[in-house]
Structure 1
Amino acid sequence: MTNTASHLDERLRRPSEIRSLTLGETKLSFVPDGVAMFKARLWLDTTDDGDWAENAEYLDEDGHLVVSIGGLLVERDGRALLIDTGFGPLELGPPQSPFGTLRGGALLDSLAVLGRSPADIEAVAFTHLHPDHVGWAWHPAPGSDRPAFTGADYLVAEPEWTQRHHAEEMGMGDMLKAMEPLVRTVREGEEIFPGVQVRLAAGHSAGHTAYVISAGGRRVIAFGDAFHSPVQISHPEWEVAVDHDRAQSTALRRTLVADLAEPDTIGYGGHLADVVFGRVHSDGDQPVWRSVDV
């Protein structure tokens, strides 16, 4: 793969394709579902024009922040876990979405490219209950009146599920009712799949959850919506307009930047354009996100 500066900058401005890592006996794959094109100053609403002039490489030609949407497939010993299920076969834009346009629908096709069907997924673990993470968990599958993953357990952190009224207030009541029969709550430190542990990481939502995957002598922190863009690795103080608790989210980002800089640690952020797997490196006095090429 070509890794010139211009090529890497291009990857900051486009949604991710399928990306995979193999660590020992575990394979991790980003499963694309779609993309969101957000107005940068509205989404990261503590920024100004000067901030983006200094970080223009993160914006497309129309000034949008490009945000990937999808899930993380974890495979080991013939078994399969999926973390998050994308947005589903929908498109949403202004005025319902004042921040920009979201569209999904590719996740099942992406799974097929990876050699998997929904029936292969033994459990779906959710980072949080927002529409762009639960789409295929409630939306009927093509040619069916039932969601695609009804053969799987739906794993939701206990504080996220017990406080699901926040999601209901966002208009997700019908989605949650469709999911509820399959939901099993999980707790801090619980191993939900070989080498995959729950790490509570509240802030973006009341029970927002990360997953720590230990494999091949390394760990991968799947940090959900703690970060929406790699630029936030360098600027963890840049707040997201829809964070449930802004101060808690900012503190979490700072903690994660330090954690991700530790040896043998890789991060996974499903929203981070086409650099969803990466490591934190020091660039002078500033941490930066460097993709792990796959």
Structure 2
Amino acid sequence: MGDPNTEDRLRRPARVRSLRVGELRVSYVPDGAVEMVPRSLFPTTSDETWARNSRYLNPAGRLTISAGGLLIEHGERAMLVDAGYGPFPEPISMMEHGMASMYGGSLLESLSELGRAPHDIEAVAITHLHMEHLGWAAHPEPGGTLPALGHAPYLVSRREWEDRHTMFGVTEEIADTLARRVRVVSDGDEVFPGVRAVALPGHTAGQMGYEITSGDDRLLAFADVLHSPAQVAHPDWATMGEPEPDTSAGLRRQVLGRLADQDIIGFGIHFADVPFGRVRRTGDAFDWEPLA
């Protein structure tokens, strides 16, 4: 990743980006971003670690963790995986959680840029119930009273829904709002033409990813198995709050190995401005090669 343009993309929030997966079009739908203190996100790292990996840090020395959704289009039909942070355009400091700032607000505008309105979305798959993944499923447009995506079913794993009251940012009010639209999905369920749910427990016990298959092409939206392109080369880096770090590290290596060995496109929803990529393997080491 030595190209200067790519180096800049590693540090900035995601922009709208699209590519083809067979007959399907997939697009990153930006909503906002989180600026993370790197050692807070990855507590087993050191200052020396980040001196060696400074290309991933913005001028303030923070990791850029994008927030948004994945739009999947099959002809006239469309669904969304994850729903961003929501209508909060002013950066909020959350240093108690290791976040220098967090903001959202542009997902609906990004959908419009892609030629879609909220009511075009026939289903919203929520990979896990953290606040930067469920935003517009829980919050209305400014001036509105109903969630912007509240017409669609919300696809959530049973374990994730059972654990909803322990999730980051899920208040009683948000849980009640989601409950009106939740539809439980299981590992292996086809939820849209060519889109299958894939259980990825670790970051949360009920986390669900989504694999897209069309023709000879495949893409895996791996949710929060990985949080940063920097972590691809370091799958043993534990993420803050992981209940079972060794299990999560094993899942990261498994997912990276599968992406590399089966030539599957990866989608990292938090991967700064390099959300689509291929994983390249050299021995036991992995690297992220951005696409789109």
Instruction: Mark the runs of 5 or more structure 2 residues left unpaired by the alignment.
Output: none
- Percentage of pairs with the same residue: 43
Per-residue Cα deviation, 1:177-213 (whole angstroms, up to 9, x for no partner): 1110100000010000011111110111120111111
Q: For residue 127 of structure 1, report the CA deviation from its aligned partner.
A: 0.6
Q: What's the C-alpha RMSD, in Å, of the aligned pairs?
A: 1.6
Q: Which amino acid aligns with 2:237?
A: W
Who is 2:179 aligned against? 180
Alpha-carbon distance between aligned partners in 1 of 2:242 and 2:68, rounded to the nearest angstrom:
20
Are the counterparts in 2 of residues 13 and 60 from structure 1 also a CA contact under 8 Å?
Answer: yes
Task: Report what 1:93 is aligned to.
Answer: 93
AA of the residue aligned to 2:61: G
SS at match of 1:234: coil
- Structure-to-structure mapping, 1:133-152, within 5 angstroms: 133-152=133-152
Q: What secondary structure does 1:220 align onto?
A: strand
* Structure 1 match to 2:115: 115
Per-residue deviation, residues 216-268 of structure 1 (Å, max 9, x unmatched): 31110100111110111100011111324322211110111101102331000
Q: 1:190 to 1:285 in 2, by over 3 A?
A: closer
- CA offsets 1:91-111 (integer angstroms, 9 cap, x no match): 431355433211000000000
- Counterpart position of 1:23: 21
One-letter amino acid of the structure 1 residue matched with residue 126 of structure 2: F
Aligned match for 1:39, one of 37, 40, 51: 37
1:171, distance to aligned residue in structure 2 (A)? 4.9
Matched with 2:156 is 156
**CA distance in structure 2 between the aligned counterparts of 1:100 and 1:84, rounded to whole angstroms:** 23
User: 2:147 & 2:71 partners in 1: Cα distance?
Assistant: 18
Structure 1 stretch displaced more, 95-104 or 51-60: 95-104
Paired with 1:94 and 1:159, the residues of 2 have a C-alpha distance of 28
TM-fit CA distance, 1:32? 0.2
Cα distance, 1:195–1:171 mapped onto 2, change above 3 Å: closer
The range that moved more, 62-71 or 280-289, is 280-289
CA contact (8 A) 1:217 1:264 kept: no
Residue identity opposite 1:211 in structure 2: Y
Q: Supply the AA of the counterpart residue of 2:120.
A: D
More deviation in 120-129 or 241-250?
241-250
Give the drift of 1:172.
2.6
Structure 1 unaligned spans of 5+: none
SS of the residue aligned with 2:85?
Answer: coil
Confirm or deny: 8 A CA contact 1:228 1:269 kept in the other structure. Answer: yes
SS in 2 for 1:239: coil
Q: Does 1:55 align with 2:53?
A: yes
Residue 62 (structure 1) shift: 1.4
Aligned pairs (5 A) from 1:185-264? 185-264=184-263
Q: Is the 8 A contact 2:84 2:135 kept in 1?
A: yes
Comparing 6-15 with 129-138, which one deviates more in the overlay? Answer: 6-15
Amino acid in the other structure paired with 2:220: I
Partner SS for 1:75:
strand
What one-letter code is carried by the residue in structure 2 that aligns with 1:34? G
Instruction: Tell me which residue corresponds to 2:267.
Output: 268
Paired amino acid for 2:290: S
Q: Is the 8 A contact 1:221 1:266 kept in 2?
A: yes
Task: State the match for 1:11 in structure 2.
Answer: 9
Structure 2 counterpart SS, 1:238: coil
Shift in alpha-carbon separation, 1:173–1:245, aligned structure 2, 3 A: farther
Residues in 1 aligned to 2:276 and 2:147: alpha-carbon distance in whole angstroms: 28
In structure 2, how many angstroms separate the alpha carbons of the residues matched to 1:16 and 1:99? 18
- Give the Å deviation of 1:170: 4.9
Q: 1:108 to 1:170 in 2, by over 3 A?
A: closer
Once residues 114 and 171 of structure 1 are traced to their aligned partners in structure 2, the CA distance between those partners, rounded to angstroms, is: 29
